[in-house]
Amino acid sequence: MAKNMTVGGAATKAALDAMLARLGGGVFRLRSSTTTLANVGFNATAFAGATMAVPAVATANTMTPSGVPTAGTIDNGQWITSTAVVDISFNIDTSGNTPDMIVSNPVIPGTATSVTISGLTYSLEIGPTP
Amino acid sequence: MGQDNEQTGRAVNDWTTEPALGRVKVSFTLEITHEDGSVTKHLCEGVMENLNG
């Protein structure tokens, strides 16, 4: 018997919206090991409602730039709620090291005065569609 | 102990031996502002297909 349990677009959207709503007023933390290099703020409504399609795609609302960051090489990120719960974490590196997130240049130089994030999207597909 | 899964013989609460269904993609642009006012932008992107890590 084939394994064919399915999850529809509306259910996927609901799951994604609920998960990302937790990040309202939280921060996107850029770190080097356990050292925080920069905190970029999520909007009070962190993400606009996700699309109904599969995958569901949610786009972040405008984020608040960090203050003066700590210079260093970013190697991981955390999405943290306003109540300091780390909901999502991932590693970041150049492509050769097969990280979760690939970036061409992970270095925050000493000349940096602020860091921000734009165009942040989260796409989710839970399973085959009905 | 979970109820046996007739298809695989695994306990239904065993989430560790196969990738979970699903896929996540995250994409954003990292924007760094410098002392001279210039801004450098770096695209950052990842796709995770094995949600068990």
Instruction: Give the whole-angstrom CA distance, residue A94 versus residue B29.
Output: 14
pLDDT tens for B22-34 read 788 999 999 999 9
Q: CB distance B26–A123 less than 8 Å?
A: yes
| A122 touches B at CB < 8 Å | yes
Chain A contact for B36, CB < 8 A? yes
Judge: B32–A109 Cβ closer than 8 Å, yes or no.
yes
Q: What is the mean pLDDT of each run of 10 residues along chain A (130 residues)?
A: 76 96 98 98 98 92 98 97 96 86 94 98 86
Helix and strand tally (H, E) in chain A?
1, 9
What's the rounded Cα separation, in Å, for the pair A22 and A53? 22
Q: Whole-angstrom Cα distance, residue A83 to residue A114?
A: 24
Contact B33 A119 (CB under 8 A): no
Q: Token digits for B38?
A: 């210039």
Please enumerate in sequence order all residues whose Cβ is within 8 A of that of B27, keeping only pairs 6 or more positions apart, or say none.
A119, A120, A121, A123, B43, B44, B45, B46
Chain A, chain B: beta-carbon pairs less than 8 Å apart: 91
Residue B1 pLDDT greater than 60, yes or no: no
